[in-house]
Amino acid sequence: MTRLDDNKATRLIIERVFSLGEMHEINRVIRFYGKKRVIAVLCNLTYLDLKTLNFISKLFDEPVEDFKCHQKKQSRQRFWNL
């Protein structure tokens, strides 16, 4: 963690906090990077689980169609996502 650069690892930090973090951590990331930058990074991620994608969509009032991970879904769904 001490060698992690905030600017170089922006995508990694935002993706991990939104996927695995709690609400106070998410709010801290939004304050640190700014809402506009966070939305831009999240929209360009190629994978987000459905729960996280729906949460982000509602949180920022963005349609799920605007997210690259929604547009590039796996053609073959995994068997546990029935």
Encode pLDDT of 26-56 as tens digits. 999 999 999 999 999 999 998 888 899 999 9
Tokens standing for residue 69: 């991970």
Pick the range with the lowest mean pLDDT from 2-16, 51-65, 66-80: 66-80
What is the per-residue burial (b if ≥16 Cβ within 10 Å, else e) of 51-67? Answer: ebbebbbebeeeeeeeb
Give the pLDDT band (50/70/90) at residue 81: low
Q: Where do the domains of the chain lie?
A: 10-69
> What integer pLDDT is reported at residue 1 of this predicted model?
53
| 9-27 confidence digits (pLDDT tens) | 899 999 999 999 999 999 9
54 contacts 64 by C-beta, under 8 angstroms: yes
